[in-house]
Structure 1
Amino acid sequence: MSVADSPSAVTSTPLVCVADLERAAADRLPPHIWDFLAGGAGDESVQALNRSALDRLRLTPRVLSGGTATTAGRLLGHETAMPVAVAPMAFQRLIHPDGEVATARAAAGAGVPFVLPMLSSRTLEAVAAVGGDLWLQLYWLRDRGLLLDVVRRAELVGCSALVVTVDAPVMGRRRRDIRSAFALPPTVTAALLDGAHGRELHRATANGSALVAHTAANFDPSADWSDVAWLRDSTALPILLKGLLDPRDVALAVRYGVDGIIVSNHGGRQLAGAIASITALPPIVAEADGRCPVLFDSGVRDGADVLCALACGADGVLYGRPVLWGLATGGGTGVRTVLDLLRDELREALTLAGCPSPAAARGLAWASV
């Protein structure tokens, strides 16, 4: 029986930290699916760098702030329970039968946006039906007609933003997937794309990864800023670019009408040798200078990490792999447990740092040691 067809186990003990769920998810999932979820590009040193760079950050707390902090904030003009959105992560039916529907429902219950991956294993319409604040991730498809069709569907179902991943002109070399000859089982499909655009996903290839073959056939490595202009002219939805690390790209993003920036190295899954996302964040915040929101992604594990990102100038954070650990171990209930834990940790971190709200975290002094 595949993971996509098997029932979920619900955690039987109180969750103290998400690292407990990481171990449980690794034990539960078949090795090739765990490697797809956990792996990175090359020797995976960028993943380790994301964590070590966050771990080196130290904050100087304030005192006598007058009570317990609130975690409530705003993202793209919408009220949120905390300044966090669930990051786009592909093919969630590999992890649980309900896949992205379960994750979206948990995010809605937790009061945070859910970024539906373009490589979703549930349809856009099925995910939108659960309610909540839904954003849609896009890749630059060679088939611009199909890309525009997905955008129109997003508009019809009420998505509130488009998140264009711009750091994946080609797929990063992920050694774990190559070694396992990763391919999707027949029960899991790229549900937002038609069958002709997803057939490569079910066949292992000469280099060992069906995902590489799929992206090579369907993603457009020639995309440039003129494509951003085309998309901006094609929709009134807010557009965020995900994958910026160089401040020089900020001015271009603003010039082409982008509504937000997500500082990200794709969780260490794209360029082997990239800088840590948290290292890139302060210079990008300085360059943006309030002209558009700046969000942070890659390596976030707990509320203290969220606080560090806010102190470094981020307006919000995307939360990734721990959500899938919750999905693997408890389905939608597991995801909600992870998000509730994150909110509790953030509230505690804000309170201990003397910040009455997430917005106040920008006033914290910080240093990398």
Structure 2
Amino acid sequence: MYRTKWMQGILWAGLVWFLLGIAWAPTNKIYQQGLVLLLWVPVLIATWSARRLLWDIGRFNPLFCGALLLCLLWAASSMIWSTAEAPLRELKRVLYVVLFLLAFPLIQAARPEVIGQALRLAYIGLSLAALFSFYVFYVEPLRDVGVRISGIGQLDHPILGSYVMGLAVVWGLQFIPRNALGRVCWGGLLALPIIFIVLGQSRGAAIALLICACSMPLWAAGRQSWFIAGLMALLAIIGFVVFEPWVMARGVSHRPEIFLESLEMIGRHPWLGLGINADYLVVTESYPHGFAHSHNGFTHAAIELGIPGLLLLAGVWFFAAVIAWRERSSLEGRLLLSTMLVASAALQFDAASIWGAPRAEWFLIWLPIGLALALVTKAVGVVGVKVRANSEQRANDE
């Protein structure tokens, strides 16, 4: 069933809705309802027909798939001891994550070109969302450009919105046209999310984008990679000189204190943690009111799920990075690797909502893992073709 045209059309629409609805959906409720209609329900219906495919994926890469399965099971089990108000609701959110991740092998196995097309479309749509955000936030109410931008839709958080725009930039860099006119237009689109990051004043997003762009010569061969790395480094230097007061005004934003206090909190509940989506405050000496999360994806995971949860999530992330590095010569590998570089930086500084409802943080934690699953699915298909070809060759020889 999952290979039928109508099911693949729905799944493709669901993936595009996830990528673009984050900005263009009128309300968060409509965004969530669209995901239920276009992703959760179709994937739930199609999964049984893909059980052999999923089994082959698990056998092909047992380390990555095993770590991911254990991580999801541990998170679901933690509802037993979670201090969250409605533990059963958290189990539903784990199910949402599972359905989201399953969509990638279902799409990749039937229409392998679709995921790349969806990311290219997302780059265009998010760039236009950045342009529309400029008008809605600065032009219509006549605000000063020194005010941190709030994007449209669910990109209304300047920091998380900037990270999503950073992902749009690195996706766009993988699809640069060959002709001169196309490159000029593409460059104009690239400038829009970069300006959004500047106006969002997110130093973490700027650093993440700079790390990704400057490392491109290491994993994307060609003079174009060196040109992009040099241009981004030059823009970073110019940006620091021009916007130095904005860059330095907030100092380190309490991050060292938050990190140290987070380690103490982990030490109080090292093995089980507080449970999935448990509410907590990171109280520091300089900010006694407390922060709602640890501002670090991995310490947040340890606070909620204990050291076992931290190790499982770190294992999933490591094995996904290995997959990306091995496939860096392919377009899909470069898309995954660039996404993981931006997401890894984001997890160090800001993103800390792992198990919440689908929102901007999902672009930074679950989207890279879904792309890694798609690459594993691609490898399974290549191996299957080779095995069938060898079998046919042996039959002909006999």
In the superposition, the TM-score normalised over structure 2's length comes to 0.25
Instruction: Flag the structure with higher strand content.
Output: 1
Instruction: Flag the structure with higher helix content.
Output: 2
